[in-house]
Structure 1
Amino acid sequence: MPGMDHGSSAPSSSSSAATADFNDADVMFAQMMIPHHEQAVEMSDMVLDKEGIDPGVLTLASDIKAAQQPEIDQLQSWLEEWGADSDTGSMEGMDHGGGMMSGDDMAALEAATGAEASRLFLEQMTMHHEGAITMAQDEVDNGQNPDAIAMAQTIIDTQTAEIATMQELLAQL
């Protein structure tokens, strides 16, 4: 069968495993997920800096930030190891697989206060997560690098659970 000999010389460390096998889908996943995660961290920072935010929303925003910043760092590391362009700024304005907030969306979140900020964060982050899940599913379906595929599956699992939490929190506001 074609492709069955790809693992014949097994890498000795996880670092070399990350560079062993990768394809265009892996590179695209990393390049698109970095700015997507960066925006989620920015949105979380916005809501964490506000007064009168629902405690469940604050916990969720902290959890999102704690999960996504290390993933950003790992994705950047992979791009470097793969010799791929990590300047995702050149992709400014792209939809990044969906779920990216517009400048107006970000301004509305920045301006919102109290319960309105909590509601807006939950609604926007739900859409944002749905976009990330779509990108991650594309990586699971089309990627080659086992570490990137594993991260994508973690993103799917984590963010699906967070969407359920956000829906519960929205119902309580």
Structure 2
Amino acid sequence: MTAHTPAPNRRLRLLRRRLAIVSTVAAGGLLLAACGGNDTEGMDHGSGNSTSATSTPTTGDNPAPGAFNDTDVMFAQMMIPHHEQALEMSGLADGRAADAEVKALVADIEKAQDPEIRTMKSWLKAWDEPESAEKGMPGMDHGAGGMDHGSDMAGMMSDADMKKLQAAKGTEFDRMFAQMMIEHHEGAITMAEDERKNGRNTTAKKLAADVVKGQSAEVDRFEKILDRL
């Protein structure tokens, strides 16, 4: 029996079919590779955060362009009321503080922290996040008197502390103000250090670094004031 040899036309059809199959497989592989790249591209879990980072447009209208994570959001939401209490404490110095350096520090605190509050509020607006994170957080109670200053937020003064500071005058106020502001600043520094370590947004991390630097220097000045009062 002689071997059957395919006709030339049949061999050509077989070759074309094989080439078509190879082309289809290759195209499918490229498609899967592209899909796989889209699934992972842009995923950023920050530094230990359980949720993925969110991207914001890098336009000139965005005050904090680039990716951000939950740590960035919480930093702004917590630091805003923290700064607001520092301004409230500083406001009590008018007519109560006697020491010239205490008065100078009050002016420095107001000059730095009021603009930072506005800046962080602009971040949250751009990120489409609420300014307050009190809902569902233990120790946060807005009640009839606003935020309970006895919350678990680092360095926050209680309502009783604020009443004592309000009742003090002269050297007593200066000493109490310095002691409370040292504690308050140390709380802010702790929060800012966490942002520097675990935050994702470059702008937020830069402000956190400024908080650490500026408030650490003010703590040193308050400690020197206490040494001489």
TM-score if structure 1 supplies the norm length?
0.88
Q: In 2, distance between residues paired with 1:147 and 1:126? A: 26
Would the aligned equivalents of 1:11 and 1:17 in 2 still touch at CA under 8 Å? Answer: no
Report the counterpart of residue 67 of structure 1 in structure 2.
Answer: 112
Match of 1:99 among 152, 155, 161: 155
Report the counterpart of residue 87 of structure 2 in structure 1.
Answer: 41
Instruction: State the Cα deviation string for residues 102-130 of structure 1 (Å, max 9, x = none).
Output: 00100000000100000000000000000
Report the counterpart of residue 163 of structure 1 in structure 2.
Answer: 219
**Structure-2 change in CA distance of 1:3 and 1:64 (3 Å):** farther
Between 1 and 2, higher relative CO (CA 8 Å, sep ≥ 6) is seen in 1
SS at match of 1:16: coil
The Cα of 1:3 is off from its aligned counterpart by 7.5
Counting matched residue pairs gives 166
Runs of 4+ in 1 over 6 A off after TM superposition: 2-6
**Structure-2 change in CA distance of 1:153 and 1:81 (3 Å):** same
Matched, 1:28 2:74: yes
Instruction: State the Cα deviation string for residues 47-104 of structure 1 (Å, max 9, x = none).
Output: 1x124510000000110011000000001110111000113565434322x1000001
Q: In 2, distance between residues paired with 1:5 and 1:83? A: 19
The Cα of 1:157 is off from its aligned counterpart by 0.2
The Cα of 1:18 is off from its aligned counterpart by 1.1
Q: In 2, distance between residues paired with 1:17 and 1:60? A: 28
User: What letter matches 2:67 in structure 1?
Assistant: D
User: What letter matches 2:205 in structure 1?
Assistant: I
Match of 2:206 among 150, 153, 163: 150
Q: In 2, distance between residues paired with 1:19 and 1:168? A: 40
Would the aligned equivalents of 1:19 and 1:82 in 2 still touch at CA under 8 Å? Answer: no
Would the aligned equivalents of 2:63 and 2:122 in 1 still touch at CA under 8 Å? Answer: no
Root mean square deviation of aligned Cα:
2.1
SS at match of 2:155: coil
User: What letter matches 2:126 in structure 1?
Assistant: E
Matched, 1:79 2:124: yes
Match of 2:180 among 117, 124, 128: 124
Would the aligned equivalents of 2:63 and 2:126 in 1 still touch at CA under 8 Å? Answer: no
User: What letter matches 1:41 in structure 2?
Assistant: L
Would the aligned equivalents of 1:35 and 1:88 in 2 still touch at CA under 8 Å? Answer: no
User: What letter matches 2:152 in structure 1?
Assistant: D
